[in-house]
Amino acid sequence: MKILIAGPGCARCRTTEKIVKDVCSELKLNADISHIYDFKEYLQYGVRITPAIIIDEKVVLSGKVPSPDEVKEIILKFHNQ
């Protein structure tokens, strides 16, 4: 599973990245997690409002800092596909 966090590196984006990493660790999920900082790059995914989470090339959340429970639900949904 490849998870991208999209955003310029603001506090909201860093918080989102930490939540994603913490949830993956809790779930013992070996995901490839990285952060896209370049506006032009994350615009290619259709992200206009950050922070955003992209899983396996699909934008699954945009425009808010998710709760750990929200991230867990999203990740489990994609992990079980």
Look at residue 80 and tell me whether its pLDDT is greater than 80: no
* CB count in 10 Å sphere of residue 76: 13
pTM equals 0.94
- Active-site positions read 10, 13
What does the pLDDT look like over 7-27, one tens digit per residue? 999 999 999 999 999 999 999
At 55, is the pLDDT very low, low, confident or very high (cuts 50, 70, 90)?
very high
How would residue 81 be classed by pLDDT, with cut points 50, 70 and 90?
low
Cα–Cα distance for residue pair 53/15, rounded to 1 Å: 12
For 25-52, the pLDDT digits (tens) are 999 998 999 999 999 999 999 999 999 9
For 2-79, CATH gives 3.40.30.10
Say if CB 52 and CB 35 are below 8 A apart: no
The structural domains of the chain, with segments of one domain joined by +, span 2-79
